[in-house]
């Protein structure tokens, strides 16, 4: 009996949730009427802390861009990936977002042991994963991912603005603002618009 007690006292619980590296993952661009959806995965370096990380939507553009450069300089590794407009129309926006997240995680130089995903849905992965509602405001690595994804998508919108000047992509970033909806009504959708989204469908019906 004494032997059994002695053995029991030496046992320690196994911690199955102790990965060496943790990646934060977030997306940008689920709501816009045009363009790819972007996702980023970031593994931060504990030895190089970054102050001011927060939900990208709560930051000014200037602050986001400053943090974007700092994250890229200090993170252990990061990857920004996309799912195309064609994939969004074929799969739907939710599944396309999960695909972009999968690509971002797979593109990391170092493989994480766990991924922390902003929101309440998880992509199919070959590693541990946890969905965290409002994670971009709670978890620094998810905040960093939200900033990278947001800035990368904004840069994409600015890059295509001159090709479609009547739409104003650099200003509204593809969201359904009055300016954008008026342009859709007047000119119809471009090859960059998501043909499965209701306002784009409606603009096609008006033009036909």
Q: What is the pLDDT of residue 20?
A: 82
Nearest Cα to 141, choosing from 19, 29, 15? 19
Order of strands across the sheet with 22-28?
77-83, 37-43, 22-28, 114-118, 128-132
In angstroms, how far is CA 107 from the centroid of its own chain?
Answer: 14
Q: What is the pLDDT of residue 45?
A: 97
Q: Is 51 exposed, middle or buried (0-12, 13-18, 19+ CB in 10 A)?
A: exposed
Classify residue 155 by its DSSP letter: H
Classify residue 29 by its DSSP letter: -
Q: What is the pLDDT of residue 11?
A: 43
> Per-residue pLDDT tens for 19-28?
589 999 999 9
pTM of the model: 0.89
Q: What is the pLDDT of residue 162?
A: 95
Q: What is the pLDDT of residue 12?
A: 42
What domains can be seen in the chain, in order of their start residue?
A: 20-162 (3.30.420.10)
Q: What is the pLDDT of residue 191?
A: 96
Q: Which residues of the chain have pLDDT under 70?
A: 1-19, 207-208
Cα-flanking dihedrals φ and ψ of residue 37, to 5°?
A: -95, 135
- Side-chain half-sphere of 158: how many Cα atoms within 13 Å? 6
Residue carrying the six token digits 């998501």? 194
Q: Judge whether 200 and 184 are in contact, CB under 8 Å.
A: yes
How far apart (Å, rounded) are the C-alpha atoms in residues 40 and 102? 10
Q: What is the pLDDT of residue 208?
A: 60
Residue carrying the six token digits 């603005």? 161
């Amino acid at each position: 009996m004494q032997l059994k007690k002695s053995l029991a006292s030496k046992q320690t619980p196994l911690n199955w949730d102790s990965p060496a590296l943790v990646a934060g993952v977030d997306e940008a661009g689920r709501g816009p009427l045009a363009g790819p959806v972007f996702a980023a995965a970031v593994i931060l370096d504990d030895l190089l802390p970054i102050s001011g990380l927060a939900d990208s939507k709560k930051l000014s553009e200037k602050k986001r861009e400053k943090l974007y450069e700092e994250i890229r300089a200090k993170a252990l590794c990061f990857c920004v990936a996309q799912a195309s407009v064609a994939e969004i129309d074929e799969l739907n926006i939710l599944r396309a977002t999960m695909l972009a997240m999968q690509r971002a995680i797979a593109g990391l130089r170092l493989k994480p042991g766990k991924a922390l995903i902003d929101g309440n849905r998880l992509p199919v992965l070959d590693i541990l994963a946890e969905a965290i509602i409002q994670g971009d405001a709670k978890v620094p690595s998810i905040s960093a991912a939200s900033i990278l994804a947001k800035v990368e998508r904004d840069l994409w919108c600015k890059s295509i603005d001159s090709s479609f000047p009547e739409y104003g992509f650099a200003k509204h970033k593809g969201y359904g603002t009055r300016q954008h909806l008026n342009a859709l009504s007047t000119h119809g959708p471009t090859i960059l618009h998501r043909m499965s989204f209701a306002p784009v469908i409606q603009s096609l019906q008006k033009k036909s």
